[in-house]
């Protein structure tokens, strides 16, 4: 009999619904929900498993730990609650799988690393691409030196989001909530992954990402009802001097753009989203300058919530999942540095409000064209006449 892993779920009505549904629907052997922390009053009406298995619901992890213990706490609460909740869970003897970002500051993340050492428990961060088996195979190949040294990395990923998205909770698009930095934006939230994965792939070990030496960025805001920016171009440089370009937005006229990525190495290039004649191929493909091709799409990616299964496995074996707190730090470094850069309000002539399917989207005209050009040529929007007189 496998060791029963007792799980505490924190936040089950947003993204966290994925975990409770996975456990309910997949009937994962050897996993039991020991308790739930949630503030939505009717949560027991939402998931039948709660009544079927008599799962207790608490308002805070402190209340839960007065009566229970958990081997793994899964944190899917608002960003600004992560730090304190993770501390409580570690101090009460749980390992933690937290949704990204791990917390709201690099300083906080380093303190969490220290607390992991003190408690002997792990924190695993929920950037799901890091757990995907094709990505891990690609990283192994990068680390083995097969492609030579990294030369430059770039990615483009934008998803249109409107008023409904920003109205779903009290912190979407906010810079701070109750004096705590949230820095919610497409870069810190919905489109975080394509940037974070570049720093992860550049890491010098499987469980490390490459930290940043410098971050330049142009944050733009179209939606006047939102505090933070909703489009951004980023040009960073890692501590091992690899330039990293990233373009992301919610203020897009089209429904989505990308993801596309190009990672250039001394001996060839890794593409994601390259069009080989039948539309963009949403897989990583390495094309060596000597004609070698490796299609990572042929590797089975694993489970949709592989991060959860890896955390369960790590609890059982006493190992640590691959996406450590350190793997979350370069993204957090960029978020913190960008927060110091003034946001450019997009002038009226460049804006277009679109009304579709009961939603309103505050978009920037020609953003797709500009970001595609900037991505292709590795330029910042201001240097190609973006937002000049219209």
Ligand X SMILES: NC(=O)c1ccc[n+]([C@@H]2O[C@H](COP(=O)([O-])OP(=O)(O)OC[C@H]3O[C@@H](n4cnc5c(N)ncnc54)[C@H](O)[C@@H]3O)[C@@H](O)[C@H]2O)c1
If binding is defined by CB under 6 A, does position 38 make contact with ligand X? yes
Instruction: Check: CB of residue 245 under 8 Å from CB of residue 263.
Output: no
> Minimal distance in Å, beta carbon 192 to ligand X?
7
Residue from 24, 91, 169, 337 binding ligand X (CB under 6 A): 169
Q: For ligand X, which residue has the nearest CB?
A: 14
CB count in 10 Å sphere of residue 283: 16
Instruction: Check: CB of residue 208 under 8 Å from CB of residue 326.
Output: yes
Cβ proximity to ligand X, 16 vs 330, nearer residue: 16
> Minimal distance in Å, beta carbon 75 to ligand X?
8
Residue from 7, 8, 79, 209 binding ligand X (CB under 6 A): 79
Cβ proximity to ligand X, 24 vs 253, nearer residue: 24
Instruction: Check: CB of residue 123 under 8 Å from CB of residue 109.
Output: no
The residue among 121, 120, 85, 114 whose CA lies nearest residue 102 is 85
Residue from 8, 64, 71, 77 binding ligand X (CB under 6 A): 77
Binders of ligand X among residues 83 to 142 (CB under 6 A) are 99-100, 126, 128
Helix (H, G, I), strand (E, B) or coil at 64: helix
If binding is defined by CB under 6 A, does position 180 make contact with ligand X? no
Quick one: which H or E segment has residue 26?
helix 17-26
Residue from 7, 9, 10, 96 binding ligand X (CB under 6 A): 10
Size of the site for ligand X (CB under 6 A): 23
* Distance of alpha carbon 255 from alpha carbon 3, whole angstroms: 45
* Distance of alpha carbon 210 from alpha carbon 100, whole angstroms: 17
> Minimal distance in Å, beta carbon 64 to ligand X?
10
Instruction: Check: CB of residue 248 under 8 Å from CB of residue 232.
Output: yes
> Minimal distance in Å, beta carbon 388 to ligand X?
35
**DSSP code of 103?**
S
If binding is defined by CB under 6 A, does position 14 make contact with ligand X? yes
> Given the rule CB under 6 A, which of 77-85, 129-137, 208-216, 312-320 is the region that contacts ligand X?
77-85
Residue from 78, 268, 321, 330 binding ligand X (CB under 6 A): 78
Residue from 3, 4, 26, 40 binding ligand X (CB under 6 A): 40
Cβ proximity to ligand X, 133 vs 316, nearer residue: 133
* Distance of alpha carbon 143 from alpha carbon 148, whole angstroms: 9
**DSSP code of 80?**
G
If binding is defined by CB under 6 A, does position 16 make contact with ligand X? yes
> Given the rule CB under 6 A, which of 7-15, 140-148, 274-282, 311-319 is the region that contacts ligand X?
7-15
340 burial via Cβ count (<10 Å: 0-12, 13-18, 19+): exposed
If binding is defined by CB under 6 A, does position 256 make contact with ligand X? no
3-state secondary structure 107-129: HHHHHHHHHHHHHCCCEEECCHH
* Distance of alpha carbon 292 from alpha carbon 36, whole angstroms: 50
> Given the rule CB under 6 A, which of 8-16, 22-30, 239-247, 376-384 is the region that contacts ligand X?
8-16
Q: Which residues bind ligand X (CB under 6 A)?
A: 10-16, 37-40, 76-79, 81, 99-100, 126, 128, 168-169, 189
């Amino acid at each position: 009999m496998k060791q029963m892993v007792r799980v505490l779920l924190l936040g089950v009505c947003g993204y966290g619904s994925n975990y409770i549904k996975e456990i309910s629907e997949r009937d994962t052997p050897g996993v039991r929900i020991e308790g739930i922390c949630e503030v939505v009053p009717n949560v027991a009406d939402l998931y039948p498993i709660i009544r079927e298995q008599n799962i207790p619901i608490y308002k805070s992890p402190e209340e839960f730990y007065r009566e229970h213990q958990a081997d793994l706490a899964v944190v899917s609460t608002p960003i600004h609650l992560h730090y304190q909740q993770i501390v409580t869970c570690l101090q009460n003897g749980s390992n933690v799988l937290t949704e990204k970002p791990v917390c709201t500051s690099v300083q906080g993340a380093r303190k969490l690393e220290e607390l992991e050492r003190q408690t002997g428990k792990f924190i695993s961060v929920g950037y799901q691409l890091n757990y995907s088996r094709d990505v891990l195979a690609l990283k192994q190949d990068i680390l083995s030196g097969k492609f030579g040294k990294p030369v430059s990395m770039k990615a483009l990923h934008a998803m249109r989001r409107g008023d409904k998205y920003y109205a779903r909770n009290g912190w979407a698009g906010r810079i701070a909530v109750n004096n705590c930095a949230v820095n919610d934006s497409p870069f810190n939230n919905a489109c975080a992954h394509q940037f974070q994965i570049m720093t992860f792939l550049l890491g010098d070990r499987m469980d490390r990402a490459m930290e940043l030496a410098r971050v330049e960025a142009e944050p733009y805001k179209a939606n006047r009802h939102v505090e933070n920016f909703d489009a951004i171009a980023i040009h960073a440089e890692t501590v091992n001097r690899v330039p990293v370009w990233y373009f992301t937005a919610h203020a897009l006229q089209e429904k989505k753009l990308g993801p596309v990525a190009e990672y250039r190495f001394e001996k060839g290039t890794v593409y994601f989203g390259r069009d080989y004649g039948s539309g963009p191929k949403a897989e990583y493909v390495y094309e060596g300058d000597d004609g070698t091709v490796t299609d990572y799409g042929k590797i089975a990616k694993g489970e949709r919530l592989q991060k959860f299964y890896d955390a369960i496995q790590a609890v059982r074996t006493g190992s640590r999942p691959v996406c450590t707190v350190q793997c979350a730090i370069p993204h957090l470094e960029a978020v913190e540095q960008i927060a110091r850069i003034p946001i450019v309000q997009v002038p009226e002539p460049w804006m277009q409000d679109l009304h579709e399917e009961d939603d309103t989207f505050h978009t920037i005209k020609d953003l797709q064209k500009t970001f595609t050009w900037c991505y292709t040529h590795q330029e910042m929007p201001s240097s190609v006449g973006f937002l000049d007189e219209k």
